[in-house]
Amino acid sequence: MPNAEGGLTVAGLTAACPECDAQVAIGDDAEVGEIVSCTECGADLEIRGLTPARLEVAPPEEEDWGE
């Protein structure tokens, strides 16, 4: 599979937290849709993009009380 990055290696990717503007570290193998937690405010953030890295507050998980 061809590498779209063209050999550019991105290590230690970070993106600004939309809640508190802190730089949140994203794993360099992270994927869009993954949930990361802000180390500053503890918000759950969904990765919305990687180039550039973009974070969005994840919707709160619905409690499922069973069927």
The residue ranges that bind Zn ion (CB under 5 A) are 17, 19-20, 22, 38, 40-41, 43
CB of 41 to Zn ion, least distance (A): 3
Nearer to Zn ion, 17 or 26 (CB): 17
Nearer to Zn ion, 13 or 43 (CB): 43
CB of 31 to Zn ion, least distance (A): 21
CB of 45 within 8 A of CB of 30? no
Alpha helices per DSSP H over 1-67: none
CB of 35 within 8 A of CB of 15? no
CB of 6 within 8 A of CB of 16? no
